[in-house]
Structures are given as structure tokens and as C-alpha cells.
Chains A and B, each alone.
Chain A
Amino acid sequence: MALGVFLIVAIVAVASALALVLRRNPIHGALFLVVNLGCVAVLYLLLGAEFLALAQVIIYAGAIMVLFVFAIMVLIPGKEETGPDPLRSQRLMAVPLGLFLLLEIALVLWGSRSGGGVGGAASLPQVGVRAGGIESVGRLLLGDYLFAFEVTSILLLAALVGVLTLAKRKSE
């Protein structure tokens, strides 16, 4: 049954990702991205990572995407969406960069198959059976990776303060 669920969710995920890129309507694109993020959450759930799946829905689908949709709604119908693409020259860059990303993914996959190397099973921390359980995530974040966790939170705080300063200066 897990394989069947995986196949359905994977197909929906790929289809919504394609729709996100191909749809002209920015709102439709953003909503397809929500569907895609939801599918990824289900994939996490299939892997037993319950906390990760719910955090994915709350933070990405429930918070970040709401802001995306909000911003698009306030800005419609901007020139960017209806006129010719002003960033047309960037499309040339897209092909080699996309190929490079594909190469990277292939390398990681190949490494994990052989057991060592980048992203291999050996390089992942061993955290017991319930790797996605909330206890193990909490233990890792506030134990082994406390420094990285705190540095990330300070980075986010700095970004927040920076945005506040920029927004305030504009309004005066």
C-alpha cells in the first residue's frame, strides 16, 4: 500500500511542480507550489518523519506560501506578468545551471547507492529507529547541533531586524 501511495503522491508532486513552472497566472503557480509542498509533506510522512511532515505543512504551506499568495494578490496585475519577460537573457543561464543541478543530484544518488561519499548512508547521523520522531529531532537540534541551531536563529533574527530597519526608513 505504501508503494501505491508513494506513486500517486509522487505523480501529483511532479505534475504540480511542472504546472508551477508552466502556468502563466502567478496565483495558480503559487497554489500549485502549495500542492507540491503538501505532496513532499506526505512523502516525509511515508518515511516515518511525522514531525518533519507537519512542520513542512505549517511553515512552508501555512506561513511562507500564504505570504507569497498575499504579495502576488497585492501586486496584480503587474507589468511583469502580462508584458514580455524582462529577464529573457537569464533563460540562457537556466539550461547550464539546470544541467549542473541534475549532475549534482545524480552524484549524490550514486554516492548513497555505494554507501559512502557525499550524502551516503554512512555520513548520516544514526539516531535510532524513530528518526523523524519529535524527541529525536529535538535532541539533535538542541544537543548535537546546538551551535548550528543557534547560529541559524541569530541569522534569522538579523534578517528580521534588517527588514524592519529598511521598511521603517522607507516610510519616513
Chain B
Amino acid sequence: MTPTMAGLGIAFGRVAFVMLFVLTMGGLLTWVERKQSAVMQDRIGANRASIFGLRLLGLFHPLADAIKMLTKEDFLPARADRTLFTLAPFVSVVSALVAFAAIPFGDVLRAGGREIPLQAVTLNAGILYVFAMLSLGVFGVMMAGWASANNYALLGGQRAAALMISAEVAIGASIMGVAMVYGSLDMMEIIRGQGAPLLPQWFGDWIPKWGIFTQLPAFILFLAAGMAATKRIPFDFPEGESEIIGYFVEYSGMKFGMFMMADFVETVVIAGLTTALFLGGWQVPYLAGDGFRFPWGATVALAQPLVALLQVLAFCLKVAVVCWFLMLIRWTLPRFRYDQAMRLGWLGLFPLSILNVAATGLVLVAWRGP
């Protein structure tokens, strides 16, 4: 195998890992959502799908759902804009899927004389990339609402666009504080910065410098705005499956499924961003490049590939925990009304994020000197 072929293979592997991870998590989330809501509401939940009598707590339901949606009638309204109607779900899903590419899932893997960054795309301004791709998702819902030739869908699409814009502004403003603390927009650099000890003169090496400790207000603001960006309960007034009519009212079959998938994939992306920016990304506490170095003096030497594997596992675990936490909030809160969510976004989250940026700047100048 020539070096270029190997390089291509490695690049393909990096992209494929992220793609598979996001799609698997997104698919699993449909099951987690049903099962977790059932547990929280004292029901049994999805448990009927079985293969040869094997039920596995209803884990086959995502598969059954996919088959059902693929075989349903694909309905096209008579007065719909044919091209845009078909294009809209793709825009939604693709913009959500590619957003994860800049989020690192591990540090550098050293194998066979190569240094492989465990990240689908290495970008200097990685946060901005994720942000840019998420902001393109707005076009999907607006196109869907408009192309359906249905006034209810149009209104739903406009509600969705208004919500996503207000959420994205707040997300962007809350991320600024993190970028200021770690002095970079490169996700890899931000995560490396989170491996350093927090205030070593007070706590020694005990507490890692994770974003949740240095930027707690930004963490709360980001999580709230992130939930709004995924358009699910408590921010599900654009669609409101149970009572109100949303932007995908005319959609059926797999096109409808793709809109649902986009929401779940966005949840995974928000969880990945939360992990990378606030929970130390792939950092394992006390794990350095050559093994564990505990603050009480003990050390455990580990081979480099093993360290990389631990980091990837830690990243996956953290993303899963954040997804679980988002679902927990989802099934705890009632739905916001449109005007309430707008007021929360523009008059609550956004100004508070800007205040956080100003406060972070003041503290940084006072701490490090101008």
C-alpha cells in the first residue's frame, strides 16, 4: 500500500467513524426517547418489535420504524413546489450530519509512524464551522413550510425559523466566553486546554480545567439555547406533533422520517458540542499521553493506542450522558408558547450571554493583566 493510499484510507476512516457514530446515536435516541419517557411516566414503552422472539427492551423499534417509513406512501401535495418539497428534508438532515465533522472524538493517535488527529476535519476555526452548518439547517424547515403550499405549514416553518435564529444567536454568544478562556476557536486546542489543572495554587492537580468549571453561566445558557435549536419539547411549538400543526404536516414516509432524524442528529451535535466545550471533550481525568498520573502520586503506564482508545470511549460516554440529560429535561418541562420562547431567547439568553462575555473579559484582564 502506497503512503497516499494509506492517507486516503485513514481520512476515510476518520469520516466514516464520525458518520457512523452520529447516525447510530441518532437512531438509538429514537428508542431512548420512547423508553425514557415511558419510565418517567410509569409506562412500559416500546417493547413489541421482536426478531425470533428476541425483544431486547424494544431495541429493534428504530429498525422497525425505518422499514415502516421506507415502505409508506410518499405523498406529494397537488400544489406543492415539487423540487423544493423534495429538497427540504435533505437540507435539514445534511446540515445537521456534517456539523459533527469538526468535533474531535480523541487526541492524536500515533501508529505506524503516523500522527492521526482523531477528528473528521481539522479546522482552525472549528467552532465557527459547526455553527455555520447548524445555521444552514434553517433553510430546510423554511423550504418545507413554503413548498408544502399549505398555510399551516408555512406558519410552522416561520415559527421554526424564528426559533432557530434566536437560539443560534444565543449559542454563538455563549460560545464566545469559552473561546476567550482557552484562547482559540480550534476545538482540539480548546479540549487540550481543558486538560490543565484548574487553579493549581488552590486545588493542586485535583480538578481539571473543564469548561463547566471556568464558564458555568455559559454552560447553562448554551444548553438552554441548544435545546431550543433542536426544536423538541419544551421548544417544540414549530411542530407540536400532538396538538398544533407544524412545517412537516404535508410530509409522509421517509421524508417525514428525515425531518425527525435531523432533530435527533441535532441533539447529538449539541451533545457533542457541550462535551467538547464544557466537559473536557475526550479528556479523561488524570490521563496524560503516557498513562494515568493520579494527583496522589500513583502512576499507571499505558501504551499510546490504549490511551487513544480510552479517550474515544470517554468522548462517546460523555456524549451519551449529555443526550440522556437533554432527554431528561425534555420529559420534565411543559411546552413553551411561541412568544415565551422568543422572549426567553432574545431578552433572556442573548443579553445574558453578552454579559457573560463582558464579565469573562474583565476577569481575564484582571487575572492575567492587560
Contact = CB atoms under 8 A, between A and B. Distances in A.
Interface stretch (B131-139, B216-224, B300-308): B131-139
A12 B142 CA distance: 23
Interface stretch (B30-38, B56-64, B120-128, B351-359): B120-128
A50 B142 CA distance: 28
Contacts of A58: 128, 131-132, 135, 172
Nearest to A56: B132
B146 interface: yes
Interface string A62-75: 11011001100110
B125 A63 contact: no
26 contacts: A27-B81, A27-B146, A31-B143, A34-B139, A50-B123, A51-B124, A54-B129, A54-B132, A57-B132, A58-B128, A58-B132, A58-B135, A61-B135, A62-B168, A63-B135, A63-B165, A65-B139, A66-B138, A66-B165, A70-B161, A73-B142, A73-B145, A73-B154, A74-B158, A134-B125, A134-B185
B125 A54 contact: yes
A73 B128 CA distance: 28
Interface in A138-166: none
A50 B158 CA distance: 31
Given A51-B124, A73-B146, A134-B124, A57 B158 contact: no
Nearest to B157: A73
Interface in B82-131: 84, 123-125, 128-129, 131
Contact of B158 (A28, A31, A62, A70): A70
Nearest to B128: A54
Interface in A108-134: 133-134
A69 B142 contact: yes
A55 interface: yes
Interface string A25-52: 0011001001000000000000000110
Contacts of A66: 135, 138-139, 142, 161, 165
Judged by DSSP, the binding face of B is helix
A136 to B, nearest CB: 11
B112 to A, nearest CB: 25
Interface in B137-192: 138-139, 142-143, 145-146, 154, 157-158, 161, 165, 168, 172, 185
A64 to B, nearest CB: 11
A55 B172 CA distance: 12
Interface in A66-105: 66, 69-70, 73-74
Nearest to B87: A31
A47 to B, nearest CB: 14
Contacts of B168: 62
Contacts of A55: 128
B142 A57 contact: no
Contact of B125 (A31, A50, A61, A62): A50
A27 to B, nearest CB: 6
Nearest to A38: B136
Interface in B279-296: none
Contacts of B123: 50
Contacts of B145: 73
